[in-house]
Structure 1
Amino acid sequence: MMGLGYDIPALALRRRPSTTPAPFSPESLSPSVFFDPSQMSSLFQDIAGTMAVSADNQPVGLWQDLSANGQNLGQEVSAARPTYRTDGSFHWVEADGVDDGLKTAPVFDVRNPVTMVLGYQMLSTSGTARVNIAEISQTSTNGMSVGVRPNIDRLQYYSRMSQQGVPASNVASPTVWGNHEKHVVTLQATSGHVTVRLDGVPVIDTAQNLAQQSISAQPLRIGLGLVTASIPGAFRLFGLQVWTSSATQPNATQIDELEAWLAAKMGVSL
């Protein structure tokens, strides 16, 4: 028989290298903390982490940080634990608007720069003060937060350091309302300046009083906060990433990637 010169096994094993990039994850940008409710393995009903969240409408007593830093959110009081919710496609942690909240250990300074990227939907429609969705704070007058005025779903940023004589910055988006729908928000605060984006569109871009001030380490709080005018509010949190002052802050291109990643987790179009 004529030798055809084909090495069938060799041809079968010869493959082109993949050109498909690895899926993007916020973990690649080394956040200070990273919380994703779609990863149910990070959710527990009790603060000790002995009873996993396994179904819709179960309480969240411990929400594990998916970053390399292990700064978990927890709630010791069972009645004040938010709830894991899912519609089968999307996942979120829901606060009841009465007393629900979570916090980390006191490990973060109230200090700039800081970046927060979060997905939320405000459920409350009453109240003209601010529902603090995410904040780093010591007292009502020493802290920084990103929150929402519930009756009109208006984004607000607050910072103050009375302990060091720094007066309040309390700035709100001037004309854009959330309409109580799902949104992706990015806060970036630097020395004397703050910008906030709603679904990729800048809605706050202004000066603020907080510069490089710092106090002793404090918790990251989710839900009912401490800083001035914080009120209880019902809302859904679809995810949160924070880069505190000790971390390398995301650049503009990376912010676009972070927002697109979170929007896909929520079913939001940017």
Structure 2
Amino acid sequence: MMGLGYDIPAIALRRTATNAAPAPFSPASLSPSVFFDPSRRSGLFQDFAGTISVTADNQPIGRWQDMSGNGHDLGQAVSAARPTYRTDGSLHWVETDGVDDALKTATVFDVANPVTMVLGYQMLSTSGTARVNIAEISQSSTNGMSVGVRPNIDRLQYYSRMSAQGVSATNVASPTVWGHHDKHVVTLQASDGDVIVRLDGEIVIDAPQVLAQQSIAAQPLRVGLGAVTASIPGAFRLYGLQVWTASATQPDEPQIALLEAWMAAKTGVKL
């Protein structure tokens, strides 16, 4: 009987542990270089210094805190060039005006492979045949890499070039799949000699690229206006962004599926 007195509590404890709900997945668990989520409004500030909180729809964003723990915040010192926080009460996004809105980090990232970017976007611009750079790491118009969209047909494009080290341009676009200006989840994975881009879980670009392991001095991550060749202003919505730069462990295929599912929920997309 004494044995039963000890065993019953132990069984109860085991059942509690077994039935406990698993912790919800977070991209932070995969150690991204940067992680931005506009639904976490506590990380949004109207000013560049990060002292005036964003508290309501349609307020400007001067600083967007990095949730990776690495402290690589996006910011905009020029008040007129700050994008806007928007929400419909369910979804949350950062919206650019297509004129001059942009954000960037400090100069902390190499232009090098491998790199992974996962983002949720909706292109609002419908004019222009050059590339609107949604996210890029660049030094100049000919030294950088980016994932962007041709706005008139909402066509995904990837660009990389490093003229400083004699590496010519790789500029590849999805061949037949247009975004129709709807909301989408995009994953870019660029490695030595290859680039793969997925749109809503389906591969739309799988092509060789010239940029291999070359790198230059540290550069910023830019959102919106780009520095690389042919980039133009363009209005879009950004529902979230995660980047794994060359110094980070790149997500594998099962992890990409988790990241895309998480981003799809934030963007309002069914995969």
Task: Answer yes or no: same fold by TM over 0.5.
Answer: yes
- Deviation, 1:266, is 1.5
Please tell me whether the aligned partners of residues 121 and 267 of structure 2 are also in contact (alpha carbons under 8 angstroms): no
Q: Which residue of 1 aligns with 2:60?
A: 59
- Deviation, 1:20, is 2.4
Q: Which residue of 2 aligns with 1:46?
A: 47
- Asked if 1:35 corresponds to 2:44, the answer is no
CA distance in 2, matches of 1:16, 1:74: 45
Q: Which residue of 2 aligns with 1:160?
A: 161
Please tell me whether the aligned partners of residues 134 and 148 of structure 2 are also in contact (alpha carbons under 8 angstroms): yes
RMSD over aligned Cα atoms:
1.7
Q: Residues 68, 6 of structure 1: CA spacing in aligned structure 2 closer, same or farther, 3 A cutoff?
A: closer
**Residue identity matched to 2:141:** S
**Residue identity matched to 1:128:** T
Q: Which residue of 1 aligns with 2:191?
A: 190
**Residue identity matched to 2:256:** I
Q: Which residue of 1 aligns with 2:256?
A: 255
- Deviation, 1:19, is 4.3
Q: Counterparts of 1:116-135 in structure 2 under 5 Å?
A: 116-135=117-136
- Which deviations, in whole Å up to 9, do the C-alpha atoms of 1:108-160 show, x marking residues without a partner? 00000000000000000000000000000000000000000000000000000
Equivalent pairs counted in the alignment come to 265
- Deviation, 1:45, is 0.1
- Equivalent residue of 1:96, what SS? coil
- Deviation, 1:68, is 1.5
Q: Which residue of 2 aligns with 1:236?
A: 237
CA distance in 2, matches of 1:95, 1:209: 31
CA distance in 1, matches of 2:5, 2:25: 41
- Which deviations, in whole Å up to 9, do the C-alpha atoms of 1:66-103 show, x marking residues without a partner? 00101000000000000000000000000000000000
Moved over 4 A (4+): none
Q: TM-score, normalised by structure 1?
A: 0.95
**Residue identity matched to 2:210:** N
CA distance in 2, matches of 1:220, 1:263: 23
CA distance in 2, matches of 1:200, 1:127: 26
CA distance in 2, matches of 1:133, 1:146: 6
- Equivalent residue of 2:16, what SS? coil
- Asked if 1:217 corresponds to 2:222, the answer is no
- Deviation, 1:232, is 0.2
Sequence identity of aligned pairs in percent?
77
- Deviation, 1:21, is 1.7
CA distance in 1, matches of 2:5, 2:249: 54
Q: Which residue of 2 aligns with 1:174?
A: 175
CA distance in 1, matches of 2:240, 2:146: 16
- Which deviations, in whole Å up to 9, do the C-alpha atoms of 1:164-217 show, x marking residues without a partner? 000000000000000000000000000010000000000000100000010000
Q: Which residue of 1 aligns with 2:116?
A: 115
CA distance in 1, matches of 2:186, 2:257: 11
Determine which structure has the larger helix proportion and give its number: 2
Q: TM-score, normalised by structure 2?
A: 0.95
CA distance in 2, matches of 1:81, 1:108: 22
CA distance in 1, matches of 2:166, 2:267: 40
| Unmatched runs of 5 consecutive residues or more in structure 2 | none
| Unmatched runs of 5 consecutive residues or more in structure 1 | none
- Equivalent residue of 1:16, what SS? helix
